[in-house]
Structure 1
Amino acid sequence: MTLPELITPFADYDFMRRALAGASMLTLGATPVGVFLMLRRMSLMADAMSHAVLPGVAAAYFFSGLSLGAMTLGGLTAGVLVAIATGWAARHSVLFEDTAMGTFQILSLTAGILLMTAHGRPVDVLQLLFGSILAIDRDTLTLIALVASATLVLLALGWRILVLECFDAPFLRRYSPRLSALAHYGFLVLVVLNLVAAFHAIGTLLAISVLILPAATARLWVNGLGKALVLAAGCGILGSYLGLVASFRWDLPAGPAIALALALPYLCSLFLAPHGFLRRRRPRKQHLEN
């Protein structure tokens, strides 16, 4: 692929520039959340919550059509309710948290698809599931920018507490149960916010890719939290750019193309990164000899 082919789509077409702006802003807000999700070992919970957004979005679509405000509010409400219900089921029954997440994930996905198909517009089902980032408008760009800005500000304000909960959650619960609960549930709200923003760009089924794939790629290359945040954001923006270029060049669906462009560096890093499969299998050098 030549240099003009990498630049021309964004120089000549407004919809490509809007798509790139939306994907970049989404990445700036979602990748830090993804790094903390990975550190807290909550990646599967985020996947379940991405499906939990679907019934709220579908219900809003059923009553209000493609209303940005209604679908955002519906998705946020459904995601928060499912997160609370998952925690309640895990705390007040014999079920473990992974089982509770799996059951609510299935229920949410089933309810969402039934609500959408009941509307009688199967084409819109694909749009909701896989997104339409090439058709993104200014209102959606504004929403994504607000979510990304709020995420970065809140992460900066709660940095110390979030880091402490990631690495020593029992100590934080003993020291201050209120701070521990605030950090836990506040972080879940941030996850839902970014999943809703990602839904507007690449759909509910692919929203999790922006949070998890760049974070996992960064973790295979670096150890420090700050370095991981910067590298994850860079991987996310570059992957979004290359995914949009591939979508334009070969007439591919933009959402899946972005997800694939984010997945390829991760797959390569599994083998080539310092913490990947091949590098970790090498015998360590002995510092001392007999």
Structure 2
Amino acid sequence: MMHLDIWSQLFDFTDYGELLLLVKNSIFAGAVLGIVGGLIGVFVMQRDMAFAVHGISELSFAGAAIALLFGVNVVAGSLIGSLIAAVLIGVLGARARDRNSIIAVLMPFGLGLGILALALYPGRSANKFGLLTGQIVSVDDPQLGSLLVIGAIVLIALLLMWRPLTFDSLDADVAAARGIATRFVALAFMVLLGLAVAVSVQIVGALLVLSLLVTPAAAAMRISSSPLAVPVLSVVFALVSVVGGIMLALGSALPISPYVTTISFVIYVVCRIAGGRRTRRRAVTRDRRPEGSRPLVSRAG
């Protein structure tokens, strides 16, 4: 009987159609988040900045919690917190060692400040919990509009700076030698990352942003190294995680975050297994080649 009760809490699709209409804003927002997170996550992985995502999310949470305490726009508070963290990390953390130290200082400060604001907040506990773990029905029309605008800004900016950002992410020294303003590119990317984190916090909560801004891209890189396939796969994985998580969470009394993170994790595990098998097959094929054999290369003239 207890197992049935737990199962009914996890999956209960009674009146699912009616409930689906209530969360259409969340589905639209989740789709935008999947596209934004999937694309920017590729550069997060290339630049080894997964830790920075978590640091920015803590300041984003603090900004949202303070906004909630004072009764102002939560999205604006989340944006301010994210941008402050992103700029600080971008300006003060030019080197990896400095960046990790700055993030390690910002994370507990942001989390503590956010918890303080939530402790002082006299409103419903669901609002407090939602900032940490996400809320499926929290996206109203004005909030959806804000998220769409922010998402569009991030996407357009990413597309405009895609080539220099890719070059800088793969080899910053060579990019600088070729005349790319690497400092500007790095700071601009941090601002875009701050915007993406602020959008993500509104859907999946501050504690689980990594599941959308890091895990899909990490999964894509396990099965492909193509500069075209990796972003496409990352976006697909992120979309499946967030939209699938919303659809499943709709039939339960639980927050959205356990479903999103579980789907994202399963995708990563499958990709890691598939990528490992592909690597082993390549190694076996290479070992079976006769010693001294070389691929034939035709030369003109």
Distance in 1, matches of 2:126 and 2:141, equals 23
Q: Match for residue 33 of structure 2?
A: 26
Distance in 2, matches of 1:219 and 1:107, equals 33
Deviation at 1:151, TM superposition (A): 1.5
Q: Match for residue 67 of structure 2?
A: 60
Match of 2:143 among 100, 124, 140: 140
Distance in 2, matches of 1:80 and 1:135, equals 22
2:115 counterpart SS class: helix
Deviation at 1:175, TM superposition (A): 4.2
Larger displacement relative to structure 2 (146-155 or 33-42) = 146-155
Structure 1, unmatched stretches of 5+, are none
Instruction: Give the letter aligned to residue 58 of structure 2.
Output: H
Deviation at 1:154, TM superposition (A): 0.8
Deviation at 1:174, TM superposition (A): 3.9
Distance in 2, matches of 1:19 and 1:209, equals 17
1:32–1:12 Cα change, 3 Å: same
Distance in 1, matches of 2:105 and 2:168, equals 26
Verify the 8 A CA contact 2:86 2:193 in the aligned structure 1.
Answer: no
Alignment of structure 1 residues 76-87 onto 2, 5 Å: 76-87=79-90
Q: Match for residue 163 of structure 1?
A: 166
1:205 counterpart SS class: helix
Q: Match for residue 73 of structure 1?
A: 76
1:35–1:9 Cα change, 3 Å: farther
Q: Match for residue 35 of structure 1?
A: 42
Verify the 8 A CA contact 2:62 2:110 in the aligned structure 1.
Answer: yes
Verify the 8 A CA contact 1:242 1:258 in the aligned structure 2.
Answer: yes
Please say which structure displays the higher CA radius of gyration: 2
1:88–1:279 Cα change, 3 Å: same
Establish whether residue 234 from structure 1 lines up as the match of residue 236 from structure 2: yes
**Matched residue pairs, number?**
276
Distance in 2, matches of 1:28 and 1:19, equals 14
1:53–1:250 Cα change, 3 Å: closer
Distance in 2, matches of 1:244 and 1:80, equals 27
TM-score by length of 2: 0.82
1:284 counterpart SS class: helix
Distance in 2, matches of 1:196 and 1:120, equals 24
Q: Match for residue 255 of structure 1?
A: 257
Q: Match for residue 103 of structure 2?
A: 101
Distance in 1, matches of 2:154 and 2:87, equals 20
Alignment of structure 1 residues 169-208 onto 2, 5 Å: 169-176=172-179, 179-208=181-210
The answer to which structure has the higher helix fraction is 1
Verify the 8 A CA contact 1:10 1:17 in the aligned structure 2.
Answer: no
Instruction: Give the letter aligned to residue 152 of structure 2.
Output: S
Distance in 1, matches of 2:162 and 2:83, equals 22
1:159–1:266 Cα change, 3 Å: same
Verify the 8 A CA contact 1:9 1:16 in the aligned structure 2.
Answer: no
Instruction: Give the letter aligned to residue 22 of structure 2.
Output: F
Establish whether residue 124 from structure 1 lines up as the match of residue 123 from structure 2: no
Q: Match for residue 150 of structure 1?
A: 153
- Give per-residue Cα distances to partners, 1:142-168, cap 9 Å, x unaligned: 122212211221111111110110112
Verify the 8 A CA contact 2:134 2:205 in the aligned structure 1.
Answer: yes
Instruction: Give the letter aligned to residue 78 of structure 1.
Output: G
Distance in 2, matches of 1:171 and 1:133, equals 45
Verify the 8 A CA contact 1:195 1:208 in the aligned structure 2.
Answer: no
1:188–1:87 Cα change, 3 Å: closer
Q: Match for residue 280 of structure 1?
A: 279
Instruction: Give the letter aligned to residue 279 of structure 2.
Output: R
Distance in 2, matches of 1:58 and 1:170, equals 40
Instruction: Identify the structure with bigger relative contact order (alpha carbons < 8 Å, sequence gap 6+).
Output: 2
RMSD of Structure 2 on Structure 1 (CA)? 2.6
Deviation at 1:238, TM superposition (A): 1.7
1:135 counterpart SS class: coil
Q: Match for residue 289 of structure 1?
A: 290
